[in-house]
Amino acid sequence: MLSDRTWEDLEREVLGREFGRCFKQRFQCEAAIARFDGPSTLIDFLHDPSGDYAEKDAALRALLRAFQAGGPRRPALGAFLLVILRPSLKAIVGSKLPEFRDIEDLWADVCWAFLETAWCYPIERRPSRVASNLKLDTLNRLCAVQRERSQQQGALRELRHAARRETQRLESPPGDATTPETTATPGAEVTAEAVVRACARAVQEGRISEVDRLLITMTRVYGRELKEFAREQRLPYEMAKKRRQRAERVVRDILQDRPPA
């Protein structure tokens, strides 16, 4: 869990002398931020409930522009945004905690969802109520990730069941009347291997493409997020989702020894 001490360490790092110097250089031409002495005074202003909301929006817009322009090259700005939005993130964690067994996983998901939200936030289209929008968008992104993860787990269970049936069929001697319910269940590694083999066979037979194979194996077997993997493959998310669904039908047919339609 991101304990109070962890947050204090993070805040100490982003408010340190080196970041403070870079902060002043980076934002010296940003009127909405240049008027502050340093990062700490800006945080105090943004956390002050009596502060001017238009000025807060202007400061947050400037920070988001810098973060989106720098991305991975400026991780300190991401950490700075986390510190600024910490009260909102803690509220999200508090609202979602009953659904999670591991609070460390929850915090990791919340922080990731926030940074993804900040990276994609449409600054020009939504210039006002920036802090509130970031909180709501982070919560929505977190819920979407949870739904997708649940769907992936369900689809992977279905593939594993099919793989188990296929493994049992291949390992049963001729004339053996043992049913899948009474046959010993193979280990998870065997099941995953069967899915990978079925995907490879589908590619060899020309029934799915190599990209489709990767969409299944990387997201269903190895647990990658579909949205993230689709972005790496330069595929629109909805297209990747539909391609994976079509390819999964082919893989299930192979695992269940059905002829091509």
Q: pLDDT tens digits, residue range 44-84?
A: 999 998 889 999 999 999 999 988 987 555 677 888 899 99
State mean pLDDT over 146-156.
Answer: 66
212 vs 15, which has greater pLDDT?
212
Average pLDDT over every residue of 116-123: 92
The residues, any chain, with a CB within 8 Å of residue 76's CB and separated by 6 or more, are: 13, 14, 19, 22
For residue 166, which of 260, 255, 258, 259 has the smallest C-alpha distance? 255
Place of tokens 């340093």: 38
The DSSP symbol for 77 reads: H
**pLDDT over threshold 50, residue 178:** no
Whole-number Å distance between alpha carbons of 187 and 190:
5
Q: What percent of the chain has pLDDT over 70?
A: 74
pLDDT of residue 166: 55
What would the two tokens of residue 216 be?
Answer: 């299944």
SS (HEC) of 111-146: HHHHHHHHHHCCCCCCCCCHHHHHHHHHHHHHHHHH
pLDDT of residue 130: 95
- Treating both helix axes as pointing N-terminal to C-terminal, what angle do 103-120 and 75-84 enclose, rounded to 10 degrees? 110
List, in order, residues 6 or more apart from 55 with CB less than 8 Å away: 32, 45
pLDDT in tens, 179-228: 433 333 333 333 677 788 888 888 888 899 988 988 988 888 777 888 88
Nearest in space to 254 (alpha carbons), one of 173, 177, 200, 186: 200
pTM over 0.95: no
Q: Predicted confidence band at 34 (pLDDT cuts at 50, 70, 90)?
A: confident
Measured between alpha carbons, how far is 199 from 151 in angstroms, rounded to an integer? 19
Dihedrals phi, psi of 223, to nearest 5 degrees: 80, 15
